[in-house]
Amino acid sequence: MSFGAPAPTAGCDPALWLREALYAIGARILRHRGAHRYIFRLGKNQRERDRVTLGYPDLKPYPKGADSCD
C-alpha cells in the first residue's frame, strides 16, 4: 500500500481488491512460462536411462585442455 494502493475494506472480496489495487498503482500483468524446466531420464538402472532420448541435441564434452593460440 506504500505505492498508493487503497487499503482493503472489511468484507471486501480479496481478488477484487487485488485487481483494483494493482490497477491503481499502474502495475502491469506479465505472463511467463516459468523460470526453470527440468528433464529427468526414467529407468530402473543406468543402462535404461541412457537409452531414453530427451529431445535435445547431445552436448559435446567439456573441453579439458587450453585453447590453442593459432
- pLDDT for the residue numbered 21: 87
pLDDT at residue 47, rounded to an integer: 92
Task: For the full predicted model, state whether its pTM sits above 0.75.
Answer: no
Question: Residue 57: what pLDDT?
Answer: 67
Decide if 35 is inside a domain. yes
Range of the domain at 36: 14-51
Does residue 1 form part of some domain?
Answer: no
Please tell me the predicted confidence (pLDDT) of residue 59: 66
d(CA 52, CA 44): 12
**Averaged pLDDT, groups of 10, the chain, 70 residues long:** 76 88 84 72 89 74 66
Alpha-carbon dihedral 53, 54, 55, 58, rounded to 10 degrees: -80
Tally of structural domains, the chain: 1
Number of Cβ within 10 Å of residue 29's Cβ equals 7
